Amino acid sequence: MTTAPLHVRAAFFVFAAEKNTLGRAYALWLAAEELGWETRFVAPRIDDPWSPLVGEHGFVARLTADGDQAAAWADVLVALKPWPGALDVALRLGRVYDKPVAVDVDDPDWENEYGWSAARQALTFATLTCSGRRPLGAYRLRYTASRLERVLVSNPALQRWYRRGVVVPHARPARPPGRPHSATGTDIEVAFVGTVAEHKGVEVLREAAKAAGDVRLVLTAEAPPDARPNERWIGRTTLEEGLAVIDRCDVVAVPSQPWVYGAGQLPVKLIDAMIAGRAVVASDLGPARWALAGTGLLVPPGDAVALGDALKRLRSSSLRSELGQAARLRALQRFTPAAVAHDLAAGLGFGDPLEAS
């Protein structure tokens, strides 16, 4: 177990426990547990936590709606996202109880909503103001986040916008690899695991699988009206069910689009796939390129032809095995709680940061 330089009590603030931001909270909890820290996770409502985590009882037991009590108890307050309901609450309670405040940024949510450049942000501000909305509070939070001494980011691409950020990747427990890559023939199963959203590139993947031929898709969402015979839509899954899908499949696809989210988001299912020793094909974007570090196939984002060609290459069980073994080794070295724990301690001011690798 990684040893923390101090015994720390950390209170994490999320704007909504029923949203997928709780997934990032879970990843940070794993690293904090490795350090032997005590943790509490504060949300306005805790009766309906994000469904993929309902079976993670050790984590769910740390949820509380009492922010004042958590802030008085904690050594450091951590807001998950520079977002109303998280950072503003942590800042207020930090002043009340004289506690240091940090912010964790796992996705470019704010930049996607308000703009990724100063010019775009100014235009959005003017547009929202003229339409009767009041964006000043959100802009103040973002400015405050940029001035905090303690900033965590989930991957190096986010340091484009949060230059003080210490990279604290999503932590995932080490577990046995999935089934061996010994299948012969051309009939491979490609999995997309996670929430289906526009920036995830699912439609590109569907076209690529259709063009590649002999490729079966399994996707964790409800079937659309135009579902095809080669597609199996299994609905939303729990964390355990999603891992089972990954363990059984031949290839995991992460075909993110090159928009603001795709450019700054590190999908946690990519790390799950790597730990399972799956062959991964992903869009050639900064977060995936950094995480894979040469252990997967990268294709131009949005290019169904290139993605289809990559899927054809991955009919080779020897290539899938080679990539899967390399990806698993990379993940065990970089993305387990033991590997991430030092980054978390350093980012919150309880150690020296390591260079992102």
Residue 354's CB is within 10 A of a number of other CB atoms, namely 12
At residue 357, the pLDDT reads: 57
Contact 204, 255 (CB under 8 A): yes
Nearest to 234, CA basis, from 55, 271, 272, 242: 242
- pLDDT surpasses 90 at 250: yes
Strand runs (DSSP E) across the chain, as ranges?
9-13, 38-42, 63-64, 76-80, 101-105, 151-153, 166-167, 188-192, 215-219, 231-233, 251-254, 279-283, 297-299
Matching residue, tokens 């980054």: 343
Matching residue, tokens 């075909």: 255
> In 3-state terms, what secondary structure has residue 198?
helix
Class of domain 188-334: alpha beta
pLDDT in tens, 21-53: 999 999 999 999 999 999 999 999 999 999 889
* 9-171+336-347 CATH choice from 3.40.50, 3.40.1130, 2.50.20, 1.10.10: 3.40.50
What's the whole-number mean pLDDT along residues 285-298? 97
- In whole angstroms, how far apart are CA 185 and each of 208, 288, 315, 324, 325? 19, 28, 7, 18, 20
Task: State what percent of residues in the chain have pLDDT above 90.
Answer: 84
Contact 148, 164 (CB under 8 A): yes
More confident residue, 237 or 355: 237
Q: How confident is the model at residue 184 (pLDDT cuts 50, 70, 90)?
A: low
In the chain, CATH 3.40.50.2000 sits at: 188-334
Residue 185, phi-psi category: left (phi > 0), alpha (psi -120 to 50), beta (remainder): left
pLDDT in tens, 66-108: 999 999 999 999 999 999 999 999 999 999 999 999 999 999 9
